[in-house]
Structure 1
Amino acid sequence: MKILGISAYYHDAAACLVVDGGIIAAAQEERFTRIKHDSDFPNQAIAYCLREAKVSPADIDFIVFYDKPFLKFERLLETYLAFAPRGFWSFAKSAPVWLKDKLFQKTVIVKALRSIWGRNIDWGERLLFSEHHLSHAASAFFPSPFNNAAILTMDGVGEWTTTSLAIGSGNQLEVIKEIHFPHSLGLLYSAITYYAGFKVNSGEYKIMGLAPYGSPKYAKLIKDHLIDIKEDGTFHLDMSYFNYCIGLTMTNAKFDKLFGGAPRKPESELTQKEMDLAASIQLVTEEVVIKLAKSIAKTTGQKNLCLAGGVALNCVANGKLIQEKLFDNIWIQPAAGDAGGAIGAALGAYYLHAKKRRIINAELDAMQGSYLGPQYSQSEIEARLTSVGAVFEVVNDDQLIEEVAQALAHGSAVGWHQGRMEFGPRALGCRSILADPRSTLVQKQLNLKVKYRESFRPFAPSVLREDVSKWFDIDVDSPYMLLVANINQNQKIAMTPEQEALFGIDKLNVKRSSIPAVTHVDYSARVQTVYKKTNPRYHDLLSKFKEITGCSVLVNTSFNVRGEPIVESPEDAFRCLMGTELDILAVGNCILKKEKQKKYLAEDYQNKYSLD
């Protein structure tokens, strides 16, 4: 049985192909169109999935959309009626879009399928719709290595649900408890993101990274006025402070007054206030997540927990949850946001609709390291690089690992484009920028000269799984870079009293450990454990770097620049090399050195990628 899952039309459109219960391919549309968070119908992602599986459109048994548009429109209409006449302009702006396209999404999807696959098949007969949080829950449970588990999903909002608890057993999944819109932990976090001057649905990562620079001085204010948190983790928002139900912004004048002024203007200078707000909302989020988890453990008796939804990408909260030891095992869907809904929709149809038997591999989850995207043969790589004027050397496997490891050990920033592209928001050693974590200069240089983003943003470490406890206070699997852990005590460098007294961005330049480039200002790091079985080439590179330097850790950040998606093709990787201050690019068995490239190409691309 072949099932195509689709998420689209809101943000992070994606497609996934499941064949007989196995995830064969999955990709986000943005990687192909080069439009970050592209929400349009995922034509190119679908085409890739079919190519990868070597199947024709006619072979597809079901096409499953990840949520139910009619329920979403019901929420929009009922919300307007509840607040009327306030919110008229917001409703008037969105209603025509719904009435023209979104409300009749079955027709829109069928039309899109016909446009790419023809009219000889009645695609409407094969089209199914899943509920949003059911898709999230299915994406978390069915790929997990558990036969039984509790499933917690948390995000902004689906149709009505913002938080849900489900129980999974074998090929069954039942949602047993929900929190509904407008009460949403994800939207509360997004409201603070908006107020701090960052973009909703993408700037939340920045708030999480900014939090350690601040003090949670607003946490009590948030809990006294914005959110009422019960002992079991359920919550209720005071909607008089928010504008997302009736307006085109997240917050209102009452919210501004509570926090002492208007929202920060995007791109303006960050102040201590934004850092303290970030620390405060992060603390409140952790409290809700842990209380929910404690209640789930107590009431369900389940020993395993699965997580999905956008809030499940908050790796700091995930790390705190692990420390609580409430469950024997926790598994987090690596594409926990809406893109992962495509996986949940397809798997949900396979198990819940078609009622197929589920076979579990207790040693390896079904996401396969999240390496589910396109890959290129060596001949394709060489042809594509030649077509864009790249100058490269072809080496064998051993030479590739040796040269790149030596370059890293000598301070080079390396673009690493290998194997199948990752599915989800994290680069996991196939579309990554790599550097030496022992350097005190790497964080600032990569942020300002390669990534072209804010200097406070931390970088994550990749570490050999067998060495993780030597470097970090964690000894559990973290293959998807979704857990934050503290630096191991033996690797820490104590701060002087003068350094301890620093606050805000001034904390950034203090060397805190033997791997300062991946040590955040609170001695934490977002850890990825690397396995020989799932990514042998990346494991070999880390092993060679360890042989040369004694350090089995590398800086690993996504291979992209600010405002662009992670690179997909060899051409994307070459453009990024030429437009930034990367030193070396390794694509397959091709090595490209920046100084050997044609100068006119470098000038063209640098103009394109300039901060302006």
Structure 2
Amino acid sequence: MATAILGISAYFHDSAAAVLINGEIVAAAQEERFTRIKGDASFPVNAIAYVLEEAGIRKEDLLAVAFYEKPLLRFERLLETYHTFVPSGLPSFLKAMPVWLKDKLFVKRTIKKHFKELGFSNVKLYFTEHHLSHAASAFFPSPFSKATILTLDGVGEWATGSVGFGENNSIKILREQQFPHSLGLLYSAFTYYLGFKVNRGEYKVMGLASYGNPNSLETQQYITKIKSNLVDVRIDGSLLLNMPYFRFATHLTMTNDVRWANLFSIPRRNPKDDLHQSHANLAFAIQQVLEEIVLKMAKSAIALTACRNLVIAGGVGLNSVSNGKLLDDPNIENLWIQPAAGDAGGALGAALSVWHIVENREKKVQLPDGMHGAFLGPSFTISHISNIAQKIEKSTYELHDNENELIAKTVNALVEGKIVGWFQGRMEFGPRALGNRSILADPRNPKMQKRINEKIKFRESFRPFAPCVLEEDVHDYFDLEIPSPYMLLVRQVKSERCKNEVNESTTLMERLSQVRSDIPAVTHVDYSARVQTVSKATNPKFWRLLKAFKEKTGYGLLINTSFNIKDEPIVCNPHDALHCFKETEMDVLVMENVIISKT
């Protein structure tokens, strides 16, 4: 008989559900993909329905439901924090309490009610600690029998970071950093001050940091001021925040704007204001500080466990620039990062914790890992797609039963400079499109980055695009000798491909237009790229597309960006894909074996 465990994360951001069958990860999805609300934090009724259906779970199969944290402990931290800072946090307290009393405090009741309505009565219910869920999501799917575990995020119940050791089916948490002293919240404070949305704009800070001038006096002063006034960084990577500069503990904002303005001599940026070099320099400064802290934490963690296999989860684990720097640390022998490192992955970690720790089940080491390429979401039949596509007006509709012909047509469109929506197979789990819900283009075209940002994504023009590259060819283009299947490592473009030094005296936008290599559309201003390697074994159709593009052009890589527009989640179903296709200047849409071209 199949034994199923369902994991759930909810109520803060990126709600999700995941299901295991006999310990195998079978399905996982974020609620936002179904509701079309970016970062949806609501109870994931749609994601639960999907994973139960995908796994074919019967009433007698469901062993347990696991929630990714302990709500009462989080509530305790909330009350204690407000009590400590009374009365300054009263407005935030008054806003938070109704939400807690309505939903968050009664998660157990909500889960039981929901599953009773689904016909699952008397289901076992477990609550795992937030950072244990992250740790489990990092260790158990990893390709290691034992590993040092580093989890870093904003905050769970009390912990904001932890060091653990995983071996076989056990995880021991060895050290924790406690709220309010948090690397994730420190970085989010800069996200807020630079005019981006917290929990959604951290990628923008990371991208903007590359435009900073590392050699300028202003940048160096920013770094010094951060480490002298905002955060005390210890030799082991632990940290203390100077709380009078921050307001996230008690208020509805992240920073004390007056103190920050006096410290950095620039006011908080309004989201609609232009970006200036000082903003880029400030982003560079906090990125440098984050990288220093992560490296120190990783070194001290490995010294503590004496295990040189490192696995990472938590929202900070999505900082791909920092991850790339870890590859150069001789203390780390092997590195693996959970592709859904944020709270969505907590749902998966909660289920894995119950299976391995509570049920005492052995960890099976799978290669390359246990995530199945993160292709854990819904897929759609060809007949379903064909029926929808035939209704599209003002488009050319083609059906190709021959896959080689489909790929050849797609390659021709890419070579002609067209932008292609690529919708295939099962949707990805996590924040990255990895070749099944992707927008693709020719990386050799120097105008392509600006065009996609302005005409397709409707987002800031400084945002870089990632390359997807044949796994066997990655070393031909990038300073990377290992696979990077989940787009979580930033590395330098090979020096022999680079064309000219960046002129730091030019403006941000002028630097954006400079041609930096023979693959300019995926070469960031600092000659780096966030690399995704594509394996024939994991995603054969996408691999064949890249192979065909190489045979046509000599280049085995493409631009790969997520199939969505600004402030919307990645597309889930054919209707979402068609909507995005029609609302943008995308040229071609390839859904399974259907090609739709705009006339």
State the TM-score bracket (shorter-chain normalisation): over 0.9
Question: What are the superposed Cα offsets for residues 50-89 of structure 1, whole Å, 9 maximum, x if unpaired?
Answer: 1211123452110101011000000001101111122122
Structure 2: how far apart are the matches of 1:407 and 1:326? 46
Structure 2: how far apart are the matches of 1:13 and 1:152? 22
Contact 2:135 2:164 in 1 (8 A): yes
Structure 2: how far apart are the matches of 1:288 and 1:72? 25
Q: How does 1:497-512 map to 2 (within 5 A)?
A: 499-512=503-516
Structure 1: how far apart are the matches of 2:103 and 2:406? 50
1:500 CA drift (Å)? 4.9
Matched residue, 2:573: 569
Structure 1: how far apart are the matches of 2:508 and 2:582? 34
**More deviation in 527-536 or 569-578?**
569-578
Structure 2: how far apart are the matches of 1:319 and 1:503? 27
Counterpart residue type for residue 180 of structure 1? Q
Contact 1:50 1:57 in 2 (8 A): no
1:410 CA drift (Å)? 1.3
Matched residue, 2:21: 19
Question: What are the superposed Cα offsets for residues 521-580 of structure 1, whole Å, 9 maximum, x if unpaired?
Answer: 000000000000000000000000000000001000000001110011111111111110
Asked whether 1:548 is paired with 2:552, we answer: yes
Counterpart residue type for residue 18 of structure 2? C
Counterpart residue type for residue 547 of structure 2? S
Contact 1:577 1:594 in 2 (8 A): no
Contact 1:58 1:121 in 2 (8 A): no
Matched residue, 2:144: 146
Counterpart residue type for residue 553 of structure 1? L
Matched residue, 1:397: 403
Asked whether 1:307 is paired with 2:312, we answer: yes
Matched residue, 2:446: 440
Structure 1: how far apart are the matches of 2:535 and 2:346? 26
Total equivalences in the alignment: 588
Asked whether 1:278 is paired with 2:283, we answer: yes
Structure 2: how far apart are the matches of 1:144 and 1:14? 20
Asked whether 1:332 is paired with 2:330, we answer: no
1:357 CA drift (Å)? 1.7
Contiguous gaps of at least 5 residues in structure 1: 596-612
1:257 CA drift (Å)? 2.1
Match of 1:557 among 547, 554, 561: 561
Contact 1:213 1:503 in 2 (8 A): no
Q: How does 1:467-506 map to 2 (within 5 A)?
A: 467-495=473-501, 499-506=503-510
Matched residue, 1:357: 362
Structure 1: how far apart are the matches of 2:322 and 2:585? 34
Structure 2: how far apart are the matches of 1:211 and 1:500? 13
Say which SS state the counterpart of residue 23 (structure 1) adopts.
strand
Matched residue, 2:267: 262
1:488 CA drift (Å)? 0.5
Matched residue, 2:121: 121
Q: How does 1:151-300 map to 2 (within 5 A)?
A: 151-215=149-213, 216-217=219-220, 218-252=222-256, 253-300=258-305
1:477 CA drift (Å)? 1.1
Contact 1:231 1:291 in 2 (8 A): yes
Say which SS state the counterpart of residue 256 (structure 1) adopts.
helix
Say which SS state the counterpart of residue 554 (structure 1) adopts.
strand
Contact 1:172 1:351 in 2 (8 A): yes
Question: What are the superposed Cα offsets for residues 112-165 of structure 1, whole Å, 9 maximum, x if unpaired?
Answer: 3334x04x6134xx1111110000000000000000100000000000000000
Question: What are the superposed Cα offsets for residues 449-469 of structure 1, whole Å, 9 maximum, x if unpaired?
Answer: 000000000000000010000
Say which SS state the counterpart of residue 15 (structure 1) adopts.
strand
Matched residue, 1:370: 374
Contact 2:326 2:332 in 1 (8 A): no
Contact 1:41 1:112 in 2 (8 A): no
Match of 2:528 among 507, 524, 531: 524
Say which SS state the counterpart of residue 525 (structure 1) adopts.
strand
1:297 CA drift (Å)? 2.0
Match of 1:580 among 564, 579, 584: 584
Structure 2: how far apart are the matches of 1:243 and 1:474? 40
1:346 CA drift (Å)? 0.4
Question: What are the superposed Cα offsets for residues 301-354 of structure 1, whole Å, 9 maximum, x if unpaired?
Answer: 102000000000000000011112321100000000000001100001000111
**More deviation in 35-44 or 184-193?**
35-44
Tell me the TM-score normalised to structure 1 length.
0.94
Question: What are the superposed Cα offsets for residues 369-397 of structure 1, whole Å, 9 maximum, x if unpaired?
Answer: 10111111211211233356575211120
Matched residue, 2:216: none
Counterpart residue type for residue 200 of structure 1? V
1:42 CA drift (Å)? 1.0
Structure 1: how far apart are the matches of 2:16 and 2:442? 33
Say which SS state the counterpart of residue 528 (structure 1) adopts.
strand
**More deviation in 56-65 or 371-380?**
56-65
Tell me the TM-score normalised to structure 2 length.
0.96
Say which SS state the counterpart of residue 104 (structure 1) adopts.
helix
Asked whether 1:82 is paired with 2:80, we answer: no
Contact 1:65 1:130 in 2 (8 A): yes
Matched residue, 1:609: none
Say which SS state the counterpart of residue 39 (structure 1) adopts.
coil
Matched residue, 2:428: 422
Matched residue, 1:605: none
Matched residue, 1:601: none
Contact 2:115 2:121 in 1 (8 A): no
**More deviation in 269-278 or 332-341?**
269-278
Structure 2: how far apart are the matches of 1:419 and 1:378? 10
Counterpart residue type for residue 40 of structure 1? S
Counterpart residue type for residue 60 of structure 1? L
Contact 1:414 1:585 in 2 (8 A): yes
Question: What are the superposed Cα offsets for residues 254-280 of structure 1, whole Å, 9 maximum, x if unpaired?
Answer: 223212243111122112221111101
Question: What are the superposed Cα offsets for residues 219-255 of structure 1, whole Å, 9 maximum, x if unpaired?
Answer: 1110000000011111110101000111110011222
Structure 1: how far apart are the matches of 2:331 and 2:570? 35
Match of 1:413 among 394, 416, 419: 419
Structure 2: how far apart are the matches of 1:39 and 1:391? 39
Structure 2: how far apart are the matches of 1:285 and 1:261? 21
Structure 1: how far apart are the matches of 2:35 and 2:95? 27
